[in-house]
């Protein structure tokens, strides 16, 4: 007698996680075979959180081959992501501290992965010149503030010019004449009869 291979949607990934070799749901859009899980024939990536930890985000990590453990590929992926994150941080002009925190969290995640599977490899945050990065961020913030201030000055000058250009229209409108006032006046006018 053949083992059951078609399961309800709720059972599919439960059976897969418990080591059954192959199976699918009745619609065929969720399946597993040879240790990989699929949705609509696309292999799934999983964020694995180990039961028994204080919270899943502290102990979770991403495996690039679904739940098939290939430690070398997973650690290489972590190293590549750390390198890319450090390179992006080195080019950053803003949000230095939050980007640095994200980089440190990624390194910690990779090292938790290595510790959990008793691997010798440990990754470190690459050397960064934080003084230079913070100086660059400060200069960017100053330049950005100057741009914002210049935009405010331009807007105020345009508003003043609009008021000057429309003095006659406003005076005619206040007197009760049928005049359309332009959009964008920075004052409200009330006409009483």
Q: pLDDT tens digit string along 138-165?
A: 999 999 999 999 999 999 998 788 778 7
Contact 53, 43 (CB under 8 A): no
**Sign of the CA dihedral running 96, 99, 105, 106:** negative
Rounded to whole angstroms, the Cα distance separating 84 from 101 reads: 14
> Stretch 99-125: mean pLDDT, rounded?
88
Lay out the sheet containing 36-39: strands in order across: 6-7, 22-25, 30-33, 36-39, 42-43
C-beta separation of 112 from 59 below 8 A:
yes
The tens digit of pLDDT for each residue in 13-37 reads 777 666 677 888 888 787 777 666 7
Please state the pTM of the whole predicted model: 0.51
23 vs 31: CA distance, rounded Å: 6
Please answer whether residues 170 and 181 qualify as being in contact, where contact means their C-beta atoms are separated by less than 8 angstroms: yes
């Amino acid at each position: 007698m053949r083992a059951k291979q078609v399961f309800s949607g709720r059972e599919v990934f439960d059976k897969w996680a418990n080591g059954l070799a192959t199976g699918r749901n009745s619609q065929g859009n969720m399946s597993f075979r040879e240790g990989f899980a699929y949705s609509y024939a696309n292999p799934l990536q999983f964020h694995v959180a180990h039961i028994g930890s204080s919270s899943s985000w502290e102990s979770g990590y991403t495996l690039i081959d679904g739940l098939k453990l290939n430690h070398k590929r997973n650690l290489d992926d972590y190293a590549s992501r750390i390198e890319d994150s450090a390179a992006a941080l080195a080019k950053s002009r803003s949000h230095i501290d939050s980007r640095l925190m994200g980089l440190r969290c990624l390194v910690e995640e990779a090292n938790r992965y290595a510790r959990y599977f008793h691997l010798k490899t440990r990754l470190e945050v690459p050397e960064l010149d934080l003084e230079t990065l913070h100086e660059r961020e400060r200069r960017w913030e100053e330049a950005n503030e100057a741009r914002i201030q210049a935009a405010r000055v331009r807007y105020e000058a345009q508003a003043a010019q609009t008021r000057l250009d429309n003095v006659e229209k406003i005076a005619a409108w206040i007197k009760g004449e049928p005049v359309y006032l332009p959009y964008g006046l920075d004052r409200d006018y009330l006409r009483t009869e």
